[in-house]
Amino acid sequence: MHIRLVDELKRLYRIVARIWLFIRRYKAIIILAVFLAYRIFNFKPDPSKRTASLAGWSRDAPRSVADYLDPTKDTALIVPRHFCRSKALLTIAVCSYVHHFERRRAIRKLWGNFTDFNYSVFVKLHGHLKGRYQDVLPERLKLYSEYLSGEGDSLRASIRLVFIVGRRNLASLLENEAVAIEAQKYNDVIQENFIDTYNNLTIKAVMALKHITQSCLNTTAFYFKCDDDTFVNVPNILHFLLGGTIPVNVVTAGFHYGNTYEVTSPRKRLTARREMMYGRQHCNVPPATNKLNKWYMPSYMFRGGVYPRYLCGSGYLLSIDVVPRLYKASLGTRIVHLEDMFVTGLCAEKAGIKRTNHPLFRSSYPYEGDEQCALKGSFTVHRAKDNVMWEAWYRVTNFSSKCPPPQKDFHLRLPKMQRC
Ligand SMILES: *[C@@H]1O[C@H](CO)[C@@H](O)[C@H](O)[C@H]1NC(C)=O
Ligand SMILES: *[C@@H]1O[C@H](CO)[C@@H](O)[C@H](O)[C@H]1NC(C)=O
Ligand SMILES: *[C@@H]1O[C@H](CO)[C@@H](O)[C@H](O)[C@H]1NC(C)=O
Ligand SMILES: *[C@@H]1O[C@H](CO)[C@@H](O)[C@H](O)[C@H]1NC(C)=O
Ligand SMILES: *[C@@H]1O[C@H](CO)[C@@H](O)[C@H](O)[C@H]1NC(C)=O
């Protein structure tokens, strides 16, 4: 008994001695590994690295929304005549640079060319996949009947399109006149009195919230914000708003997650009328530290290690009740120049509104693979500039080419949706 204990102790001693030898021999490598593991698991970008100042938003620039937007006054240089007097199921605000005349022209001619949206376009896009998606919900047709007319394939929904622009610091007289003529002709431009720059996009988005809050709450049911390089598949968005689902095709199958692909399930229908914020959700995004980065964030604007979850600014879809709540929250939130993070992150968090990720809001134009089916089956595609916008439109409206359904069992390869 006694001898056995001694043996055991000796064995233990030998093990400890061996470990000690190992540590001494490889201490440099061990220290390095522990250090790396610590860095990887405790990675927090250091705000002290973000000291460079941001163009247009120096450390001491006023950052209250009220310094740039007077909620009690009408500060707009141009507003459409009878803005929001008529009923529209969906009001789309396109944030555009004042000098982007061509992009606005393209949007009006292409995806924005509906005052009444003819439902037959959805049927032409996806009718051959009938049975592979949920149709619109009769309850929702009833609920939104004031915005609809006709029925079946000739159902029509009214839409409103408005462009939000600022002004240029040193605009030529010619340019100012061109904006005035454009606004007069199409009656779809809101021009506000701030300098139109990338770093002022937050002001632009909040101006849009102000105008919608002041004029549109009683005449529209949903609000969609996008940029002038966003391709919007309006038929798909309307079908979704009215309780339908978008059929999955051979390309869009790859956009889905393990819990989103089942579009024949009634559970995937939109039933909410209020408290609704949909888009492409970004989680745990750290602020950019490189001052040459377009999204560089100085620490005096945002101190934290990661942004709150937010929806990509290339397109977010809200029920109209959310708009005044975001607007109100924005008035008490210090400006951060990244519009989407500010509105759908900081302000939405303050207002306590839940955001939902939807895989059909695509962040960049699908240059590779079958673009046509990607465009036909999505809600939005970002970075569709200039000729790409036209190309995208011709592809979507080529009704003679039909996107085939996905391969069997495609869902077995789908990833899990990221959790924030
Ligand atoms: C919209 O489309 C119609 C019919 O194709 C066309 O007549 C009209 O000019 C278009 N509107 C704009 C603003 O391009
Ligand atoms: C609207 O739908 C009706 C019925 O399907 C169709 O006859 C008409 O051509 C459509 N109009 C447009 C502009 O697509
Ligand atoms: C934003 O607009 C305001 C008001 O016109 C202007 O004072 C400021 O310089 C602009 N900021 C940027 C970053 O352009
Ligand atoms: C909307 O309707 C409510 C209640 O009917 C009314 O109090 C409010 O002034 C209306 N708002 C607008 C912008 O017309
Ligand atoms: C439409 O698509 C079909 C099939 O892909 C193609 O053959 C045809 O050229 C396209 N039409 C146009 C106008 O692009």
The C-alpha angle 161, 278, 81, rounded to 5 degrees, equals 20
Domain check: are 28 and 70 in the same one? Answer: no
| Residue type present at position 78 | I
User: What's the pLDDT at 69?
Assistant: 94
Domain check: are 13 and 104 in the same one? Answer: no
C-beta 56 within 6 A of ligand 3: yes
Lining ligand 4 with CB less than 6 A are 215, 217-218
Closest atom, ligand 4, to C-alpha of 217: 13
What is the three-class DSSP state of 117? strand
As a whole number of angstroms, the distance between CA 372 and CA 125 comes to 11
Length, in residues, of the chain: 420
Q: How far away, in angstroms, is 248 Cα from ligand 5 center?
A: 21
User: What's the pLDDT at 45?
Assistant: 55
For residue 243, the 8-state DSSP code is T
Whose CA is closest to atom 10 on ligand 3? 195
Residue 279 maps to which CATH number? 3.90.550.50
pLDDT digits (tens, 9 = 90+) for 340-386: 999 999 999 999 999 999 999 987 766 566 789 999 999 998 888 77
Domain check: are 11 and 155 in the same one? Answer: no
Q: How far away, in angstroms, is 186 Cα from ligand 2 center?
A: 23
User: What's the pLDDT at 47?
Assistant: 63
Note whether 269 and 239 are within 8 A (CB): no
Q: How far away, in angstroms, is 302 Cα from ligand 1 center?
A: 45
User: What's the pLDDT at 17?
Assistant: 87
Note whether 352 and 308 are within 8 A (CB): no
Closest atom, ligand 4, to C-alpha of 84: 13
C-beta 398 within 6 A of ligand 5: yes
As a whole number of angstroms, the distance between CA 158 and CA 138 comes to 18
Note whether 205 and 339 are within 8 A (CB): yes
Whose CA is closest to atom 6 on ligand 3? 195
Nearest CA to 159 out of 246, 233, 238 is that of 238
C-beta 153 within 6 A of ligand 2: yes
Helix (H) or strand (E) holding 238: helix 234-241
Nearest CA to 322 out of 299, 343, 305, 296 is that of 343
Beta bridge partners of 157: 117, 148
What pTM value is reported for the model? 0.87
User: How many separate domains does the chain show?
Assistant: 2
Among 396, 398, 399, say which to mutate for ligand 5: greatest number of ligand atoms within 8 Å of CB. 398
C-beta 154 within 6 A of ligand 1: no
Domain check: are 193 and 259 in the same one? Answer: yes
Does residue 50 lie in a domain region? no
Domain check: are 27 and 73 in the same one? Answer: no
As a whole number of angstroms, the distance between CA 409 and CA 184 comes to 54
Among 116, 118, 149, 397, say which to mutate for ligand 2: greatest number of ligand atoms within 8 Å of CB. 118
Whose CA is closest to atom 11 on ligand 5? 398
C-beta 200 within 6 A of ligand 3: yes
The parent domain of residue 18 ranges over 2-43
User: What's the pLDDT at 51?
Assistant: 87
Does residue 51 lie in a domain region? no
Domain check: are 168 and 19 in the same one? Answer: no
As a whole number of angstroms, the distance between CA 50 and CA 45 comes to 9
Domain check: are 353 and 262 in the same one? Answer: yes
As a whole number of angstroms, the distance between CA 91 and CA 115 comes to 11
As a whole number of angstroms, the distance between CA 184 and CA 316 comes to 28
Domain check: are 133 and 174 in the same one? Answer: yes
Residues of the chain predicted below pLDDT 70:
1-3, 38-48, 115, 365-369
CA distances from 261 to 192, 235, 245 (A): 42, 19, 10
User: What's the pLDDT at 285?
Assistant: 95
The C-alpha angle 24, 30, 32, rounded to 5 degrees, equals 130
Closest atom, ligand 5, to C-alpha of 398: 1
User: What's the pLDDT at 89?
Assistant: 97
